[in-house]
Amino acid sequence: MINPTASWKTTPLTPVFGAIVEDVSLADVARTDGFFRLRALFEEHSALLFRGQDITDEDHLALARRFGTIEDRLADERTSDDAYKVPKVSNVRADGKLTAADDLHTLHLKANFLWHADSTFLPVPALTNILIGRVVTKSGGATELASTRAAWAAMPESLKARVRGRGIRHRYSHSRAQISPELAKLPMFHKWPDQHWKSVWTNPVNGKEALYIASHAFAVDGYDAAESAALLRELMEFCTQPDFTYSHSWQAGDVLIWDQRAVLHRGTPWPEDQPRTLSSLCVSASDADGLGTMHIMPQ
């Protein structure tokens, strides 16, 4: 039997995390046993980059479903006649015009410039994001990644001890308030109650630990509001040092897949007169991904 993954070539994305995977078609992987090799690389490296992919929305959905249940934050707003569509991260309006610099949609996009893991504010957070470059800018508009697994492994014990064994609370509107108080008041940022997760996520496949924080995090158990803010800021600054980060300049057809349990990400600004569109699918974590061990049980 021919091994469809035999020709895959991997090279490091950075010295401490991530891999560039070549000689592979993700459209094929989405529907073959090649996915199991991809999943193994995902667990090992935390972030994977595939360049020059010819991948449709249907392929994108098929690949995401191999990881698990696709996240749908608008499920409560969609009628039975509304088909699910792959979400777009874009400054292009439905009429083809670009969003204004001061409108709420643009401010929402700017909130993505904060370091975060997706969906830590949901009752079921994200396992992964599969992000595809569709329309890219001539400058700016990078996506940056930071490995909280590599950072946690390198973190001084004195800093680890301040958060190890504690829970962290997450709230969607908290990250939006850092951009605009008006933005944070929108109903879409108050759909879900605060979530309370353990501060360290252990990968059930390889036992590797990663700090689990985000721009949505606002309180650490055992500390008051000011102490929590200072500690979360210190942890974030440590994790996003150059030694633990990667900045990706997009080309159309690039695909980034990363582990939301162990990698933070953020966008970077781009010229406001340039369109930019990325296709984004988040997949929800499951107990098989370690979700069951992350819950803080009520006292």
Whether residue 4 is contained in a domain is answered as no
Question: In which band, very low, low, confident or very high, does the pLDDT at 172 lie, cut at 50, 70 and 90?
Answer: very high
Q: Is 299 a member of any domain?
A: no
Sorted by sequence, the CB contacts under 8 Å of residue 51 that are 6+ apart come out as: 20, 22, 251, 253, 254, 255
Q: Which two tokens stand for residue 211?
A: 């700090």
Confirm whether 3 is domain-assigned: no
| Distance from C-alpha of 41 to C-alpha of 97, rounded to nearest angstrom | 39
2 found inside a domain: no
- 132's enclosing H/E stretch is strand 126-135
DSSP letter for 151, please: H
Residue 224: Cβ within 10 Å count: 9
Residues 250-256: what's their mean pLDDT? 97
List of residues 6+ apart from 299 with CB closer than 8 A = none
Q: E-assigned strands of 161-260?
A: 167-170, 195-198, 200-202, 209-211, 217-220, 245-248, 255-259
Domain of 74, in residue numbers? 9-293
pLDDT of residue 163: 98
Percent of the chain with pLDDT over 90: 79
Edge-to-edge order in the sheet of strand 167-170: 195-198, 167-170, 217-220
Question: Is 259 inside a domain boundary?
Answer: yes
For residue 236, is it within any domain?
Answer: yes
pLDDT digits (tens, 9 = 90+) for 13-59: 999 999 999 999 999 999 999 999 999 999 999 999 999 999 999 99
Mean per-residue pLDDT for 235-258? 98
pLDDT 10s digits, 67-103? 999 999 888 777 777 888 898 988 888 888 888 777 7
**CATH code (residue 237):** 3.60.130.10
CB within 8 A of 28, min separation 6: which ones?
A: 4, 34
User: Is 139 part of a structural domain of the chain?
Assistant: yes
Number of domains in the chain: 1
> How high is the pLDDT of residue 99?
84
Give me the helix-helix angle, 57-67 and 34-45, nearest 10°: 70
The pLDDT value given to residue 2: 39
At residue 290's C-alpha, the angle toward residues 236 and 36, to 5°, is 105
pLDDT of residue 269: 92
For range 240-260, the mean pLDDT: 98
Q: Which tops the pLDDT comparison, 66 or 73?
A: 66
Predicted structure pTM score: 0.93
